Amino acid sequence: MAQAHVILNPAADRGRAGAREEELRRALQAAGVEAAVVRTERPGHATELAQQAVREGAPLIAAAGGDGTIHEVAQALVGAEAALGILPMGSGNDYIRALGIPRDLSGAVAVLARGRIRTVDVARVADEFALNSFGMGVEGQIAADYKRMRFLKGELGYLYATILEVVRFRAFRAEVAGDGWSFAGKLLSVSVMNGPYAGGGYRLAPGAQVDDGALDVGLIGNYPRLVRFVVLPRTRDGSYVNLARVHAKRAAQVKIQSDRPLPVHMDGELLPELVEELEISLRPRALHVIA
Could you report the per-residue pLDDT of 218-263, keeping only the tens digit for each?
A: 999 999 999 998 888 899 899 999 999 999 999 999 999 999 999 9
pLDDT of residue 1: 55
Report, as an integer, the average pLDDT of 119-135: 95
Nearest in space to 286 (alpha carbons), one of 82, 101, 5, 44:
82
Q: Assign 5 a pLDDT band (cuts: 50, 70, 90).
A: very high
Where in the chain are the domains? Answer: 2-115, 130-284
Question: To 10 degrees, the CA torsion angle through 17, 82, 287, 138?
Answer: 20
Over the range 242-261, which residues count as b (16 or more CB within 10 Å of their CB) and which as e? ebebbbbbbbbebebebeee
Report, as an integer, the average pLDDT of 165-191: 95
| Residues constituting the chain | 291
pLDDT of residue 150: 66
Task: Find which of 192-201, 239-248, 264-273 is predicted with most confidence, using mean pLDDT.
Answer: 239-248
* CATH number, span 2-115: 3.40.50.10330
pLDDT of residue 219: 97
pLDDT of residue 31: 95
Q: What is the pTM of this model?
A: 0.90
Burial of 271 (0-12, 13-18, 19+ CB in 10 A): buried
Given a cut of 90, is residue 147 above it in pLDDT? no
Task: Find which of 151-155, 268-272, 285-289 is predicted with most confidence, using mean pLDDT.
Answer: 285-289
Residue type, 241: V
pLDDT of residue 160: 83
CA–CA gap between residue 29 and residue 35 (Å, rounded): 8
130-284, CATH topology level = Tumour Suppressor Smad4 (2.60.200)
Task: Find which of 28-42, 84-98, 220-234 is predicted with most confidence, using mean pLDDT.
Answer: 28-42
CA–CA gap between residue 143 and residue 265 (Å, rounded): 6
Given a cut of 70, is residue 153 above it in pLDDT? no
Given a cut of 70, is residue 165 above it in pLDDT? yes
